Amino acid sequence: MNKPLETYQNEIIRVLLIGGGKGGTSLLQELKLLNSVQILGLADIDPAAPGCQLAKHLDIPVWTDYKEMLRQPDYDVIVEATGIAGIQEEIDKGKRIGSVLIVAEAALLMMRLIEQHEELRELSRDVDRLSAIMDAAQEGIEMADNEGTVRYVNKAFSWITKVKQEDRIGRNVFDVSPKGALAEVLRTGKPVFGKLNYVMNTGVEVLSNASPLVLNGKMQGAVVLFRDVSDIRKMGQRLGESREVIRNLQEELGQLASAQYSFEDLVGNSPKLKKQMQIARQAAVDASTILVTGESGTGKELVSHAIHAAGSRRDAPFVKVDCASIPTNLLESILFGYEKGAFTGAVKSKMGKFELAQGGTVFLDEIGELDITLQSKLLRVLQEREVERIGGNYPIKVDVHVIAATNRNLMKEVERGAFRQDLYYRLNVISIELPPLRDRLDDIPLLAKALLDKKNHRYKKECYLSAETVEWFKEYNWPGNIREMENLIERAVILSEDGLISTELIQSFLDGSIRLIKKVPRTLKELETEAIQEALDRFGWSLEGKRNAAQCLGISLATLYNKIERTNFKKLEWTSKT
């Protein structure tokens, strides 16, 4: 005869577990945590099953024949976790009189409910406490006997279904919920998982898991747990939003970079370069805003990388923005970011470059190309250390180091109204002016060797410069500066057939309009013509360029115009960017 529940209230419940697969292993792990349960043994035909291995580790006896285990003298409960059809009848025949057989699904279901608040030992002592805990569960719980009469519902049942407890207890489930999971279990005797249905006459959709309650091999009823589908859908929505946030972060992280160069990568010993690099090293430690100027191709970006790498922000992002290559209508959103719905196509919020560079450095290349309408917004970032996204309602604090670079004369841009004076002074806290290559003639052999080594490594070649080529390099005026030298050397490495980079090979790449400094003796007229030509090449053929050329040559603008009219000078077309 089976013991009534009260008999177990002050005793340890002794359990035998049949089945050492995945389900049995999970049961073993959960039962082991309960102080009121003593596991006397586990049986599985496969001694290598995970449950058997865990039982051995826990010093729990293991059998390969469950019938032999059932011959043990003292046990109260048998939990069947094999899922094998017909085995429950066999167990029922062989078990000790007075013991209880529970299928794994029912055991797991009940344990999960019970373990939300108290251990099984405490719950077995107090049925009221069990009811309180089940009432505290967020899932709706409903139990019915074999005839379908509802014997118990918890409080969450009423919260979810809007049906009062007293209106459900005592009713027949086949009348009030004939299509639900509980009715299906009572009809089939099999567990039901993940069933979607509407609570009759309420319009509330629920997701249910139900299992039979088995005693002495016979089903005594069933229990169902369910949740409001709207809660699950809200969780799914939050999950989707979280995934969207992750995708956005992944996209934004992909835009981050670190400095690629250091001061050790800067080649040259000229006094002009050394002086500027000394300023750059000091600025890397202290300055929050730095302006790097110089002609196209002098290495402004490389120096900016080096400043970041030498400062305290070296481990934070280095974010580059090319102000010349991005259309003005896009540049604002790229710099400052935007909120979802700020404009057509803004289907999600996006961080701007200043936010992405938080704690690091923003490198604003070609700052002289920045549209005047954006200059005021940039000024606010520099002054207030905050940005406001397009469509945003509040400022966002940013802590960034700003390095700007330009090949323009910003002071002259200020004079002609193309650049804000206040922004210029805010950017020009520390100014680093990189000398052109023609002012670093002694550095040319070192630079040429460094660039050649770099290209040889890239293309897996062993090219070399002839002595004549090196001398030619020193005589050439390099209007494109270091970038031009790098391009010429790269082309030569690619096209050289025997490894020798000769003067003829290099000169074959040059346009005829690019002039060289000649070594042969020249007349004063030739020297004058050449000086005027180089001044015009350097400063340009615009009115402003001619004024600068005349000033550089030490002659009046009218004299320059007279000489231009008498001589066939050529316009230099050079369009490379820094």
CA 514 to chain CA centroid, nearest Å: 48
Encode pLDDT of 138-177 as tens digits.
788 888 999 999 988 888 888 888 888 888 899 998 988 8
Bridge pairing between strands 37-43 and 62-63: parallel
C-alpha–C-alpha distance, residues 336 and 51, integer Å: 58
Q: Which residues contact 286 (CB under 8 A, 6 or more apart)?
A: none
**First-to-last CA distance in the chain?**
94
| The model's pTM | 0.49
At residue 136, the pLDDT reads 66
C-alpha–C-alpha distance, residues 119 and 56, integer Å: 24
- CATH 1.10.8.60 assigned to domain 437-507? The reply is yes
Which helix (DSSP H) or strand (DSSP E) does residue 13 occupy?
strand 13-18
For domain 5-113, give the CATH number. Answer: 3.40.50.720
Instruction: Kindly report the backbone phi and psi dihedral angles of residue 407, in degrees, each rounded to the nearest multiple of 5, phi listed first.
Output: -105, 5
Q: Give CATH superfamily name and number for 137-230.
A: PAS domain (3.30.450.20)
C-alpha–C-alpha distance, residues 189 and 212, integer Å: 6
Q: Do domains 5-113 and 263-433 have the same CATH topology?
A: yes
CA 404 to chain CA centroid, nearest Å: 27
At residue 258, the pLDDT reads 67
At residue 88, the pLDDT reads 86
C-alpha–C-alpha distance, residues 331 and 353, integer Å: 10
At residue 252, the pLDDT reads 53
| Residue boundaries of the structural domains of the chain | 5-113, 137-230, 263-433, 437-507
Contact of 391 with 433, CB cutoff 8 Å: no
Longest dimension (CA), the chain: 129
**Tokens encoding 426:** 């805010």
Encode pLDDT of 318-349 as tens digits.
888 888 888 888 888 888 888 887 777 777 77
At residue 260, the pLDDT reads 80
The residue whose two tokens read 């490198």 is 363
Query: Other C-beta atoms within 10 Å of 127: how many?
Result: 12
Query: Other C-beta atoms within 10 Å of 254: how many?
Result: 8
Q: In this structure, what DSSP letter does residue 149 have? A: B
Q: Is 218 helix (H, G, I), strand (E, B) or coil?
A: strand
At residue 424, the pLDDT reads 92
The residue whose two tokens read 């259309």 is 327
C-alpha–C-alpha distance, residues 5 and 3, integer Å: 6
Encode pLDDT of 438-462 as tens digits.
998 889 999 999 999 999 999 999 9
**Tokens encoding 11:** 């005793």
Q: In this structure, what DSSP letter does residue 436 have? A: P
- Topology of 263-433 in CATH? Rossmann fold (3.40.50)
Closest CA relative to residue 156, chosen from 182, 134, 184: 134
Q: Where are the alpha helices (DSSP H) in 77-208?
A: 87-94, 104-114, 120-125, 127-136, 155-161, 165-168, 173-176, 181-188
Residues of the chain with pLDDT under 70: 1-10, 104-133, 135-136, 231-258, 511-522, 568-578
Encode pLDDT of 551-561 as tens digits.
878 788 777 87
Query: Other C-beta atoms within 10 Å of 567: how many?
Result: 12
